[in-house]
Structure 1
Amino acid sequence: MTDKKRIEQLGVRIPERLEPVYANLIKISHADDEVTLTFLHKIPETNLAQGRAIVTITPQHAKRLLRALSANLKRYEATYGEIKLPEDGGAREESSNVEVA
């Protein structure tokens, strides 16, 4: 059975108490066998950030995540137009911050 077929048959259960979180900053760190994404909410006009979630995945899953994000963002831009980033001369938005550690 291929990975794609296995994923299509995957049943997902989301606990009733699981609440969505908002993060506008992500710290990415890694070791040889894992990649850790620390999702933070940077409080505007302060030098403070509050932790929202920590997700640790394998390097293989990180690469799959990168591919999935890339494919989804290409589809998004095809529908809604190019996403402008402040560092590329686009409009400044606090929620677009990503920190790579």
Structure 2
Amino acid sequence: MSDQKPNEEGKINIEMDDKTAEGIYSNLAIINHSVSEFVVDFISVMPGQPKAKVKSRIILTPQHAKRLVKALADNVHRFEKSHGDIKDYDQPTIPLNFGPTGEA
């Protein structure tokens, strides 16, 4: 038997370094999925710039993706309750090109 004790009440101690704490700005997310995973690419698109790079890619299991959707919905609801409705402005269509296209 081990002498290790779990954290108080099963809490997880989460650490974050300074660089990660700065965050990464994103104004576009592209989501793809397969049977076993969801892939979310976060991109920063700047006006007048013909190129944009993926700044971060997060890969989630379907179960975690569903939990994320619920957590985001809950947080948006609480934000709007405190600050009013978030306006969803029409965004222009952005033509996306992820690298070379295949040719037959």
Letter aligned with residue 26 of structure 2: A
1:62 aligns with 2:77: no
Stretch of structure 1 that moved more, 36-45 or 14-23: 14-23
User: Which residue in the other structure is 1:38 paired with?
Assistant: 41
Q: Equivalents in 2 of 1:25, 1:79: separation in Å?
A: 25
Q: What is the TM-score of this pair, normalised by structure 1?
A: 0.74
The Cα offsets for residues 22-55 of structure 1, whole Å up to 9 and x where unpaired, read as 0100010001000000000001123321211000
The structure number with the bigger radius of gyration is: 2
What are the within-5 Å matches in structure 2 for residues 11-30 of structure 1? 11-18=13-20, 19-30=22-33
> When you count strand as a share of all residues, which structure comes out higher?
1
Provide the TM-score with structure 2 as the length reference: 0.72
1:49 corresponds to which of 47, 52, 55: 52
- Residue 74 of structure 1 deviates from its aligned partner by 0.3
The residue type paired with residue 67 of structure 2 is R
Q: Distance in 1 between matches of 2:54 and 2:38?
A: 17
How far apart, in 2, do the equivalents of 1:69 and 1:56 lie? Answer: 17
Which of 1 and 2 has higher RCO (CA within 8 Å, sep 6+)?
Answer: 1
Task: Supply the RMSD in Å over aligned alpha carbons.
Answer: 2.3
1:77 matched to 2:80? yes
For structure 2, which runs of at least 5 residues remain unmatched after alignment?
Answer: 1-8, 97-104
Q: Report the number of matched residues.
A: 85
Q: SS at the partner of 1:49?
A: coil
Opposite residue 30 of structure 2, the aligned amino acid is K
